[in-house]
Amino acid sequence: MSKSQKLDDKQILSKLAKDFHELVTNKEVLRTSVESFLNNVIDELTLGIIFDLHRKYKTSSYEIEMEEDDGDDDETGEVDIFAQHDIKKTQDCVCPNCDRAVAATRFAPHLEACMGMGRNRFRNATRRVASSSSKDRENSSFSGVPSDDEDDIDWNSGNKRGKKKKRNGNKKSKSGGTPKKSGDSKPNDSSNAEVEAEEDDLSSLRDLLQDHSNSSSPADSVSSSHSNSSKKKEKSKNKKNKRDRSSPSSSISAE
């Protein structure tokens, strides 16, 4: 059965092919047929357009549009695309700090920045206050501000103390070290000083303990006592870092 079907199909196809070929080869016939084909396609398209528009008019979708157009002419032109009236009627508040007109919705964050309560605007606010206080007022009216100034002072002094003490501490901890280490300790100081500014006393105590432990293993008790005395001198004299390094070794070598 299938074989016979296949044969039939083939025969049909071959017939069709012949027919088509004849049609195509005959030029005049081809032209007319193609033209009529094209006309048919165009008619189909027009039908589609007609159906579409006719349906729209029947369902009166266009009429509604026209009515809306008439309605819009009466209204005034202050309406949003969502048919909302102007919302920009928010009251503006006057900032007591900078005397600026600020929107009510943005008032709180503005105050935070303006008065220095926030994180990022901390410095800006303190600068402003510092400049204003130096120029006009001695007594600032805002309670939170003087404490900020004090914090600034602590930070600045703490940095200096920390740097010097750290340098001394690092050098003392590495007893009998090469000058290279002194070079290494200096960049460490610059990075560490800012961090450990407030722990000056604690760090010095730690250094002392470290020095005791380090000195006991490699050097003699004599040298350790000498290094301790030299450390005390180093603490008092902040600038003589390199010389202090050499002094324990020289003292040791002398003895």
Partner 1 sequence: MSQDYDAKINLHLDINHGLDRVTELVQTRLIECGWRDQVRLACRKAITENEKHIPTVDDLIATVTPKARSMVPDSVKRELLHELESILINVDKFGY
Q: Smallest distance, Å, CB 66 to partner 1?
A: 10
Q: Does 13 bind partner 1 (CB under 8 A)?
A: yes
C-alpha–C-alpha distance, residues 107 and 121, integer Å: 15
Q: Does 117 bind partner 1 (CB under 8 A)?
A: no
Q: What are 225's two structure tokens?
A: 């006592």
31 or 123: CB nearest partner 1: 31
Residue 255 burial (C-beta neighbours within 10 Å; 0-12, 13-18, 19+): exposed
Which of 218, 244, 240 lies closest to 231, judged by CA?
244
C-alpha–C-alpha distance, residues 133 and 121, integer Å: 18
C-alpha–C-alpha distance, residues 68 and 167, integer Å: 83
Residues 18-57, mask of contacts with partner 1 (x by CB under 8 A): -xxx-xxx---xxxxxxxxxxxxxxxxxxx-xxx-xx--x
Q: Does 205 bind partner 1 (CB under 8 A)?
A: no
Residue 86 CA neighbour count, 13 Å, CB half: 6
53 or 64: CB nearest partner 1: 53
Cross-strand partners of 94: 101
Q: Smallest distance, Å, CB 7 to partner 1?
A: 16
* Piece of the chain touching partner 1 by CB under 8 A; list 17-25, 149-157, 160-168, 183-191: 17-25
CA angle centred on 123, ends 118 and 129, rounded to 5°: 100
37 or 155: CB nearest partner 1: 37
H helices of 94-240, where?
107-115, 122-135, 144-173, 179-195, 200-216, 221-236
Q: Smallest distance, Å, CB 63 to partner 1?
A: 10
33 or 188: CB nearest partner 1: 33
7 or 13: CB nearest partner 1: 13
42 or 104: CB nearest partner 1: 42
What residues make contact with partner 1 under the rule CB under 8 A? 13, 16-17, 19-21, 23-25, 29-47, 49-51, 53-54, 57-58
